Amino acid sequence: MKRLLLTSMAIWAVLASGCGQRKAAFTMAGSTAFMPFAEKLAEHYMESHPGVNITVQGGGSAVGIQSALSGAAQVGMVDLVRLPEEARVLTATVVARDGIVVVVNPANKVQNLTMLQVRDIFNGKLRNWKQVGGADAPVTVVSREAGSGTRSSFEEILGEVDLTRDALIQDSNGTIRETVAMDANAVGYLSHGLVNEKVKSVLVDGHDCTLEAIAAGKYVLIRPIYLLVKGEPSQEITDFIDYVLSAEGQKSIESDGLLPAR
C-alpha cells in the first residue's frame, strides 16, 4: 500500500509539474483592419505551437505605435502609408498590403467614381448623388476616427482632404460597413479584406482593387501593414513573424482578402 501511495504521488507530481509550465506569451495591438487577420494567424500558429500564447487587441494604428513604444504590447500592428517619426525607433516589418475600397449601399446605382470625385465627396463639395450619376439624394459620408490607420492612409493617398464636418464617425471597419449597409445614401471606405455582400465596392478611376490593377499602378488606394517591435524581439516573436511571412502565412492572408507582402 505504501509503495502504491508513493507511486501515485510521483505521478501526481509529474502531472502537476506539466500543468504548471509557463507558456511563452506576447501581445499584439493596433490596427483594427488587420486585427481579424492577426487573430486567425495567431490561432493557426498556436495550434502548432502549444507553448506559445498570443493575445491580439485592436485600438487603431496610433495605439499600435504607442503600445509598442511603451511596452504595453510587444508587437504593434500598423496600417499606414507612411510611419510617423516616433515609430523610427521601432523595427518595422511589412507583412501584408491592404487595398482601401470605397463602398456604397447595394441599392446605390453609382458604379464608378474618379479620385477627384471621391475627394470632393469626403470634403463635402459633392453633396448629392445626382452630381455623380446617382439618384437625387443627399450623400451621407461615413469615415473612421482620427488616429485610424485606414483613415490616415485614405486621406494621404487622396490628398487635400478636409473631412466634411457632418461626416458620421465610426471606430472600426466593421461599424463603417454596417452603417453603409443600413443607409441607401451612405458612402464609406473599408479594408479590402472586410468587404462583403452587405456593401458594394465602387470602381475608382475605372479600376477595381485587384492584384492586376495594383501591379499595373492603376489602383492606388493601397497601404502596407506593418508589425512593429521595440528592441531585440524574443525568439517567439521572431518565429511568429517568420510564420506570417512564410508561404503558409501569406497564403492565409491572401485567401482572406489581403494582398501579399511583396
Could you tell me the pLDDT band of residue 12, with boundaries at 50, 70 and 90? very low
Count of C-beta atoms within a 10 Å radius of residue 160: 7
What is the residue whose three cell numbers read 473612421?
144
- What is the Cα–Cα distance from 164 to 123, expressed in whole angstroms? 5
- CATH class for the domain made up of 27-96+224-255: alpha beta
Compute the C-alpha angle 154/156/157, nearest 5°: 70
192 — pLDDT class (breaks 50, 70, 90): confident
* 227-257: pLDDT as tens digits: 999 999 999 999 999 999 999 999 999 888 8
Residue at 223: amino acid letter:
R
Model confidence over 206-229: pLDDT tens digits? 999 887 888 788 999 999 999 999
| CA–CA distance, 8 with 11 (Å, rounded to integer) | 5
Domain 99-215 in this protein, CATH class: alpha beta
pTM: 0.79
Domain 27-96+224-255 and domain 99-215 have a common topology: yes
Residue-wise DSSP of 113-181: E-HHHHHHHHHTS--BGGGGTS-S-B-EEEEEPTT-HHHHHHHHHH-S----TTPEEESSHHHHHHHHH
DSSP type of residue 233: P
Domain boundaries, the chain: 27-96+224-255, 99-215
Of 192, 175, 199, 188, the residue nearest 102 (C-alpha): 188
